[in-house]
Structure 1
Amino acid sequence: MTVTTTNDWSNRFKELNDSNEELNAHGKYFSCSYLLDMETTKILVQTHGGKIEKITMDPGPLDPYQFAIRASQDTWSKFSMPTPPPMYHGIFAASFQRDMKLEGDLLVLMQNLRCLTTQLELLRVVGIPA
C-alpha cells in the first residue's frame, strides 16, 4: 500500500494496529512510548493497552519516549518489505548485522517485545513514511 502523506501513513498505521487481533488479545499491558528514527523521518509512537494513543511525526527534542529504534532509511525500507531480505526480518537481526541501534530503556522494550514485534510487522503492510 502506498500512502501519499505522513498524516495518511499515521492514520493507516493506527487503524491497522487498533484492529489487529493479536494486539487486541495480547496488548492489555502494551503501554509505552518509543521513537522510530529513520534518518530523515522520526516517528514517536505512544501506545496504551495495545492501542495507539498518538503518533507524532518528527517530534521535538523534548518529546519524551522510553526507547528508540534507530536505523538508516535503507534498513527501514528493507525491514518494511513484505518479505524482507535476510538480516532485515527483525530488530535483533538488523541490530546484530546491520545498522539498527536500540537505545534507551531496553527493559521496557523487552517487556513489550511480543506486541512491539507485531506492531513493527505492520510496517510490512503500510510501508514507511520516509
Structure 2
Amino acid sequence: MEAPLIELLKDKVNADAALVRRGRFLTTTFLIEIGSAQWLVSIVEGQIVSVSHGPFVMPSWSFALRAPQEEWQKFWAARPQPGSNDLMALIKRRVLKAEGDLHVFMANLRYFKECLEKLRPARAAA
C-alpha cells in the first residue's frame, strides 16, 4: 500500500460534516498498522488533526487496528467482498486485530467504520 492513500484520510473525513459531527465527543489517537507500516491517527472532537507515519519508538495510542496489507486493500476496494466489507467482519475472520482500550473503539464504532471506509474509491451512482 502506498503512503498517500492513508494520508488522504484527514481531508476526506474532515470534509464530511456529518461524520465530524458524529465524532464530536471523540478525542483520541489510534494506531493503524498496514502490514509492517504504522500510522498514528489523532482525532480531536471528531476532526482528524494528524496522520503520522512510523516507525515510532514509543507510540502512545488508545487502541490499535492491525491487519496485513492485502486485507486492507480488500477492505478499501470499491466493492469489497463479503468478509472484507466491514471492520467487524475482518475481526470475525481474524485478519484484523484490535488491541488496547477497545471501549474507545466500540463506543465509537460507527465513526471508525465510516472514517476508514472514506479511503474506498467513490462509486458512480447506480
TM-score category (smaller protein): 0.7 to 0.9
Question: What is the aligned partner in structure 1 of residue 47 from structure 2?
Answer: 51
Deviations 1:94-128 (A, max 9, x none): 111141111110001112212111101112139xx
Higher relative contact order (CA closer than 8 Å, sequence separation 6+): 1
Q: Identity over aligned residues, as a percent?
A: 29
Question: What is the aligned partner in structure 2 of residue 23 from structure 1?
Answer: 19
Moved more, 23-32 or 44-53: 23-32
Give distance in 1, aligned partners of 2:121 and 2:45: 22
Amino acid at match of 2:109: L
Deviations 1:20-67 (A, max 9, x none): 132133121121111111113111101011111111111413120000
TM-score by length of 2: 0.86
Question: What is the aligned partner in structure 1 of residue 110 from structure 2?
Answer: 114
CA contact (8 A) 2:23 2:45 kept: yes
CA contact (8 A) 2:37 2:54 kept: yes
Give distance in 1, aligned partners of 2:94 and 2:119: 18
Residues 8-87 of structure 1 mapped to structure 2, 5 A cutoff: 9-10=6-7, 12-87=8-83
Q: CA deviation at 1:7?
A: 5.5
Unaligned 5+ runs, structure 2: none
More helix by share: 1
Give distance in 2, aligned partners of 1:21 and 1:125: 19
2:3 maps to which of 6, 10, 13: 6
Equivalent residues, number: 122
Secondary structure of the structure 2 residue equivalent to 1:125: coil
Unaligned 5+ runs, structure 1: none
CA contact (8 A) 2:6 2:119 kept: no
Amino acid at match of 1:114: R
Alpha-carbon RMSD across the aligned residues, in angstroms, is 2.0
Give distance in 1, aligned partners of 2:116 and 2:62: 16
